[in-house]
Structure 1
Amino acid sequence: MIKMSKMHKRVIGAHGAVLALTALLPIASAMAQAQVQTQAAPELQTVTVTAQRRTENIKEVPVSVSLLKDEKLDVIVSGGQDIRVLAGKVPSLNVESSNGRTFPRFYIRGYGNTDFNTFASQPVSLIYDDVVQENPILKGFPIFDLAGVEVLRGPQGTLFGRNTPAGVVKFESEKPKLDKFGGYYNASVATHNTVNVDGAVNVPLSKEWAARFSTLRQHRDDFVDNTFTKQDDALEGYNEHAERLQVLYNPGAGFNALFNVHQRSTTGSSRLFRANIIKKGTNELVDGFDADKIANNGLNFQALRTNGANVRLSWDLGAVKLYSITGYEGVDHYLSRGDIDGGVPSGPGVIPFQVETAGGIADVKQYSQEFRVESKNSGPVNWQAGVYYYNEDANGFSNNYNSTTGAQTSHLASHQKNTAWAAFGSVNYAFSDAFTVRGGLRYTNDKKDFNTVSAVNVVQIGPAAVGASSNKANWDLSGTYKLNKDVNVYARVATGFRAPSVAAASASVPITVADAETITSVEAGVKADLLNRRARVAFSVYDYQVKNQQLTVVGGNSNVNRLINAAKTNGRGAELDFEGFVTSNFKVSAGGSYNFTEIRDASLSVNKCAQCTITNPINAAGRVVIDGNPLPQAPRWILNGTARYSMDLGEGQMFVFTDWAYRSKINFFLYEAKEFTGKPLVEGGLRVGYTWDGGKYEVAAYGRNVTGTERIVGGIDFNNLTGFTNEPRLWGVQFKGNF
């Protein structure tokens, strides 16, 4: 038998993944071809995206991009879930949080950041209505009344904001319209008295003015019984509301102004940490685990208020179009408190000491301004250029408590000032009708000033204030070639940059600074319309290398976090998106990705967990060597699919819609341990409904996580086998209407 090295196995695995995904193309094509020969199916609508800051056919864009919109987006959020519901719904995207409905962390192609520090930065940037949401607290704004969600994979450092080396998740609200009064309403009720109500109204105010008001209300009862009755009797509920008002001014003569104000308020339980729920030596839940019960003697709650406003102006000057985007985002209040030891003095299991923590934000004020000009040439050359400014002022704090007595044991408050500016430009040149080249360049200067404001019962090690600054020029170059009217191929080389990050001190760790990280990525792909536009497919392969990647070291024997840099991280993989009509009333979609990541730095080691079974080498200092490990929260495989079948019934249509998402196993932390390796996760949804009056009204029964899958999706690297689990199964009914 031939023995293969670990690297050979990984290379073969990567190539196998490419072949497997490629094999899906002729299978899908053959399936659709066989069906359309017997029954004509309609054409797919043209999909447009703004991945290059212009509205373009998704097939023409030389970037691996997915779009969620319309029914597919409405269905996955029908159960009232927060933004984490996007995890696995498109290739290469994962979203998780150890803070519940707040502070989501995004990963694209396995590349993200597990940092739970108040001032954390992430390599995946979230853009909402053209305004970057930098602080992770801002990234959790609820999903409602959206035109679509674009996921742009790979470095996007030329045209978008800042800190985008892994990619961008881009949200775009539905806009006011001048032509007619209208809107929608949507209401559902489900298990645990989960109530989700949202709606919007569009009001033309005159020939030049229109307004659109959107609102969301979500509620879930506390349904997890706390068997330790001295504290919260029940947990895991929430109350969420958000509003957005947009006003459009369009007087003609080439000028357009869009004003947007929005706010969010949420209260409820923070993440429920459960002590010793992992069976020693495995990643299985312990025998007799009951997700509806917990024993916590600490307080558990969170409350958040955010608000924002932006103004988007555009002037059509004939040969060019000028844009101004002014944004403000703020956090008025944030406090999340939880019993991180996961239990009470009597258990479950061994709990060495009692502690609960609270993290909070006194305020965040973020201002951004972009001016951009783009050409409107009819010839082969088109371009855009601009300048960007960003300013953030943030105050955050962390507290520790003795959960037995309730007494506060420490308090640490910190302040960060972050300013950045950039100049950017890109050029498109069409050498022919078939071949187009795009190139972009961006120069960024970023500066952070960080200091400790107050420390109670925290003996700070090292300086009380630090500064970090960096500047970088990034570029990208891509080419698109039309093989024929239906098939495009493209190739892209791009670089990205993330500015230095700072993590607050603790009793045992000083303020830590992670140096800037950079990425170089190579990508190639094909995008095609199939079977006379009854189906479409996009397939890409990529390879990237991150230098000096910022990583978060969490705990060991205490729940603290510090920042380090890894010399290199390698990533490679493939992605597939497919959708099409099998028949005129049967539509399917499928997606998949293979993402291989590997940390390459023989000098890096981290403290090991106290109770788990480490599978990595241990060095002479008793620390875990992480060289060769995958990145945390980076599943190698993500698969997803949907199917919708409809039939005429009476004056309307009855339909069945199902959606499924799979991700393979993940590491929770930088080291590998049997207990802290999350098992593969499959979650599915089912919806049976009836629409009538040309789709104006819909009533449906639905289920989310219909198989009732229970998985450990994250852990606390502290002093026992503490973890937290995925969302429960949900059954509900829903009514939607348009007017």
Structure 2
Amino acid sequence: MFRYDSTAPTTLSLFMLACALESPNAVAQGLMEEVVVTAQKREESIQDVSLSVARLAGESLDSKFTGGDTVLALAGAVPGLYAESSGGRTAPRFYMRGLGNPDFNPAASQPVSVVMDEVPMEKSTFKSFPVFDVQSIEVIRGPQGTLYGRNTTAGIIKFDSNKPTDDLEGYVRTSVGNLGTFNFEGAMGGSLIDNVLSGRISVLSQNRSNWIDNTFTGKRDAIGGFDERAGRAQLLWTPTDRFSALLLHQRRDLGGNTSSAFRANILSTGSNDLNGHFDRDKVNYDGGDNQRAEADGSGTNLTLTWDRDGYTLTSITSHQEATRFSRSDVDGGVCNFCGDPSGPGNIPFPVDTASDSDLEQLSQELRFTSLLDGPLNYQAGFFYFEDELNFVDLNSAEPAAPTDSIGVRSSTFIENTTWAVFAQADYDLTDALVLTAGIRYTDDEKTARYAAPPSSSHFDLARSLAPVKLGDNDTSLEASLAYQISDASQVYGRIASGFRAPTIQTTLNADPDLTTADSETILSYELGYKAELADKVRLNSAVFYYVVDDLQLTAVGGESNSVRLLNAEEGVGYGIELDVSYFATESLLISGGFGYNKTEYRDDGLATEPCGSGMCTVLDPIDANGNAVIDGNPFLHAPKWNLNFEVSYTHPLANGDELFVYTDWKVKGETNDFLYESTEYITDTQFEGGLRLGYRGLGAGYEIALFSRNITDEANVTGGIDFNNLTAYVNEPRIWGLEASYRFQ
């Protein structure tokens, strides 16, 4: 296990900064290209925008997904960003500056919003769409309540696909690796009617064989494989210089045994180290249908743009739909009190759960953007959103049911409607001083209906409860002041608020107080400094402090083996973010980042059920009801710090081609897995690295590379299940192989 003392993050980050700021005698001029972002829904240099933004593109982006990984590969890729999932490839959960939601239910709202091609993807199933043919990913930290609306109290991850052009261009990329890994992606686009109609088609196929044995059933290679297919088609119509229409349609189909592999008792009481029960290649399941998971869906976006003298009008219409099925042996092994003494340690009762859901989402945005020559420019618009979720909670009909026997336990229908009006303006107070101010009014309503059979053997006698309705409205504000110190540096200050609407769970029951949560609001303060130094160093840094009122929390597990929602009176966080790129030579780029988060729940007497198995060493005070008092605890799944760095080196050859080496590493500090603190479920420092090395035929457009993800094969605990035993799940194993690509234009 990788360990070092607590001074390492500070020392290492300062060392990286010192290296980056060093100015050798031989200064390479003009190595840095401008980085353009659209964090504020218009193109701007990343050095000019008064936000904490990181951008992933090109080699850095491609390398992270070489081994067929999901969006979870973004965890730790930039300062302040973390991701994890107990649902495998179908249900990612993101955390930014410590704020996130561990709820695995498909109706769960997340404070980190995911925006794909300018469309917000609200539910986790939509957020799990595979990454391919993407131009860039922007990570926008801090609340973005003005331009992006509710449920963005933590920040935004913004995906932008490559768009059609008039030039014929495209690529194919394929890789083969261990564990039966095979990936293929490609795209082709160009003009269909000169200067009037262009198109682009992109496809993805990701495959991996099952590689985990189920020792209970004796089936070899039973779990861990997947078969992912996705495609995207786009048409861009430009009948005049002032009008364009972009139609985008995408689909995905995922199947396999990809739910997270829960592993019973791989932790021991009093320790957070993996013990002898852990074997990455084996599990011991009597249920869960070998962790079967399926997801499919499609979506269509229509973006219309009218350019007029002095302004642009944009309309974005989107419809998304998806289905998702998953089944898991949640107890992580074989019940040793059910007539079978085999299995990894104490498992008092079996838990075999499954669920099926249908999702549909509709959104419409109208945006008016000024194009004025004077000191004032602004945006204003209207946003409408609605979605529907049909959720069926499934479970084994009887405790000792066969592994293929499931029945309906309950069903829930939830619909959500929200609308908003917004405006944001920039005003140049002087040539060097810019004021930005924004406002957004949001109205949000949710309705849920729940039906549950009165017993497991009489599903036809379901009872219906009265609908539960929640609603709220909020006005979000933002103001920032940016001062241009020189042509190459600026400082800014930003105050922003955000709003996360009331939440209703899919596990709604006869006591809605346990499965609903009130709205939360955030007020955030941020100071930033951005600079380009000696034509070799790009530095972006920020310090932040925020207060969340009525912080929505999700308590998972405990003695009742349930998922419960609650509000904390207040949550507080502060920290720093540092992104540095050092263009040492034309052949060598060193980049990295460091983030520190200090978070804390503040609510006297706030308590939740501790570890339900009784096997945990709970570190919190216990109240009169036997619950753990969490006041003062750090936020769950919020690493205290994270560090990432990348090195890209190319060696030119006499024939004009080049050899290249690229490596990327990420390290995260101590992280708490639950609302309460326990010895077993606080993970220590963890790290992961990747490597690509190969040959690039620059003139011919091809590339051949050897690659490896998780190159040191680290077994890092990424989450736990506490109600039955000391269950945990870990990261993906080492994937290595050969990749070849060809790009044409």
**How does the TM-score come out when normalised to structure 2?**
0.93
Instruction: Decide whether the 8 Å contact of 1:231 with 1:296 is kept in 2.
Output: no
Q: Hey, what does 1:634 align to over in structure 2?
A: 638
Letter in 1 for 2:532: D
1:197 to 184, 189, 192: 184
| Inter-CA distance 161–508: structure 2 relative to 1 (3 Å threshold) | closer
Letter in 1 for 2:369: E
Q: Hey, what does 1:552 align to over in structure 2?
A: 554
- Say whether 1:134 aligns with 2:129: no
SS at match of 1:75: helix
SS at match of 2:677: coil
For 1:620 and 1:138, locate their aligned partners in 2 and report how far apart those are by CA, in whole Å.
42
Q: Write the mapping of 1:332-731 to structure 2, written as runs, cut at 5 A.
A: 333-345=323-335, 346-361=342-357, 363-401=358-396, 402=398, 404-406=400-402, 407-408=405-406, 411-455=409-453, 457=455, 463-505=465-507, 510=512, 512-532=515-535, 534-609=536-611, 610=613, 611-651=615-655, 652-694=657-699, 696-731=701-736
Letter in 2 for 1:672: E
> Runs of 5+ in structure 1 lacking a partner?
1-12
Deviation at 1:405, TM superposition (A): 2.2
SS at match of 1:432: coil
Q: Write the mapping of 1:262-301 to structure 2, written as runs, cut at 5 A.
A: 262-269=250-257, 270-287=259-276, 289-298=278-287, 299=289, 300-301=291-292
SS at match of 1:483: strand
For 2:367 and 2:229, locate their aligned partners in 1 and report how far apart those are by CA, in whole Å.
34
Q: Hey, what does 2:338 align to over in structure 1?
A: none
For 1:21 and 1:691, locate their aligned partners in 2 and report how far apart those are by CA, in whole Å.
32
Structure 1, residues 705-726: CA drift from partner, whole Å, max 9, x if none? 1111112110112210011011
Q: Hey, what does 2:47 align to over in structure 1?
A: 59
Instruction: Decide whether the 8 Å contact of 1:125 with 1:163 is kept in 2.
Output: yes
For 2:511 and 2:472, locate their aligned partners in 1 and report how far apart those are by CA, in whole Å.
24
Deviation at 1:463, TM superposition (A): 5.0
Letter in 2 for 1:358: A
For 1:81 and 1:96, locate their aligned partners in 2 and report how far apart those are by CA, in whole Å.
13
Structure 1, residues 21-66: CA drift from partner, whole Å, max 9, x if none? 5775444211xx12xx236365211001111111001111010000
Deviation at 1:432, TM superposition (A): 1.3
Instruction: Decide whether the 8 Å contact of 1:460 with 1:506 is kept in 2.
Output: no
SS at match of 1:395: strand
For 2:462 and 2:452, locate their aligned partners in 1 and report how far apart those are by CA, in whole Å.
10
State how many pairs are aligned. Answer: 718
For 1:192 and 1:232, locate their aligned partners in 2 and report how far apart those are by CA, in whole Å.
13
Structure 1, residues 624-672: CA drift from partner, whole Å, max 9, x if none? 0000011110001110000011112352100111100011121111000
Instruction: Decide whether the 8 Å contact of 2:108 with 2:504 is kept in 1.
Output: yes
Deviation at 1:137, TM superposition (A): 0.9
For 2:116 and 2:312, locate their aligned partners in 1 and report how far apart those are by CA, in whole Å.
22
Deviation at 1:344, TM superposition (A): 1.2
2:63 to 75, 97, 103: 75
Structure 1, residues 181-204: CA drift from partner, whole Å, max 9, x if none? 110000001110111110100031
Letter in 2 for 1:194: T
For 1:735 and 1:338, locate their aligned partners in 2 and report how far apart those are by CA, in whole Å.
36
For 2:11 and 2:343, locate their aligned partners in 1 and report how far apart those are by CA, in whole Å.
50
For 2:575 and 2:15, locate their aligned partners in 1 and report how far apart those are by CA, in whole Å.
15
Structure 1, residues 98-136: CA drift from partner, whole Å, max 9, x if none? 000011001000101111122100011000000010011
| Inter-CA distance 403–248: structure 2 relative to 1 (3 Å threshold) | farther
Deviation at 1:90, TM superposition (A): 0.5
Moved more, 552-561 or 271-280: 552-561
For 2:464 and 2:642, locate their aligned partners in 1 and report how far apart those are by CA, in whole Å.
43
SS at match of 1:187: strand
For 2:371 and 2:223, locate their aligned partners in 1 and report how far apart those are by CA, in whole Å.
56
For 2:511 and 2:221, locate their aligned partners in 1 and report how far apart those are by CA, in whole Å.
35
Q: Hey, what does 1:28 align to over in structure 2?
A: 20
Instruction: Decide whether the 8 Å contact of 2:100 with 2:110 is kept in 1.
Output: yes
Instruction: Decide whether the 8 Å contact of 1:367 with 1:391 is kept in 2.
Output: yes
Letter in 2 for 1:624: A
RMSD: 2.0
Moved more, 77-86 or 155-164: 155-164
For 2:541 and 2:506, locate their aligned partners in 1 and report how far apart those are by CA, in whole Å.
42
Letter in 1 for 2:20: A
| Inter-CA distance 403–100: structure 2 relative to 1 (3 Å threshold) | farther
Structure 1, residues 55-111: CA drift from partner, whole Å, max 9, x if none? 001111010000000110000110100110000000100011000001100100010
| Inter-CA distance 150–271: structure 2 relative to 1 (3 Å threshold) | same
Deviation at 1:505, TM superposition (A): 3.6
Deviation at 1:545, TM superposition (A): 0.4
Letter in 1 for 2:634: P
For 1:285 and 1:252, locate their aligned partners in 2 and report how far apart those are by CA, in whole Å.
63
Letter in 2 for 1:701: L
Deviation at 1:404, TM superposition (A): 3.8
For 1:98 and 1:288, locate their aligned partners in 2 and report how far apart those are by CA, in whole Å.
20
Letter in 2 for 1:29: L
Structure 1, residues 557-591: CA drift from partner, whole Å, max 9, x if none? 24310110000000000000011211221111010
Instruction: Decide whether the 8 Å contact of 1:39 with 1:584 is kept in 2.
Output: no
For 2:486 and 2:462, locate their aligned partners in 1 and report how far apart those are by CA, in whole Å.
65
- Say whether 1:187 aligns with 2:192: no
For 1:649 and 1:287, locate their aligned partners in 2 and report how far apart those are by CA, in whole Å.
50
SS at match of 1:137: helix
Deviation at 1:412, TM superposition (A): 0.8
User: What is the aligned-residue identity percentage?
Assistant: 42
SS at match of 1:205: strand
Instruction: Decide whether the 8 Å contact of 1:410 with 1:456 is kept in 2.
Output: no
For 1:322 and 1:506, locate their aligned partners in 2 and report how far apart those are by CA, in whole Å.
42
Q: Hey, what does 1:315 align to over in structure 2?
A: 306
2:212 to 203, 224, 231: 224
Structure 1, residues 215-270: CA drift from partner, whole Å, max 9, x if none? 10000010011111267851100000110001000122400110000011101111
Deviation at 1:20, TM superposition (A): 8.1
Instruction: Decide whether the 8 Å contact of 1:227 with 1:233 is kept in 2.
Output: no
For 1:718 and 1:462, locate their aligned partners in 2 and report how far apart those are by CA, in whole Å.
29
For 2:659 and 2:399, locate their aligned partners in 1 and report how far apart those are by CA, in whole Å.
53
| Inter-CA distance 75–573: structure 2 relative to 1 (3 Å threshold) | same
SS at match of 2:99: coil
Moved more, 648-657 or 448-457: 448-457
Q: Hey, what does 1:247 align to over in structure 2?
A: 235
Q: Write the mapping of 1:61-140 to structure 2, written as runs, cut at 5 A.
A: 61-140=49-128
Instruction: Decide whether the 8 Å contact of 2:392 with 2:408 is kept in 1.
Output: no
1:143 to 118, 131, 135: 131
Q: Hey, what does 2:202 align to over in structure 1?
A: 214
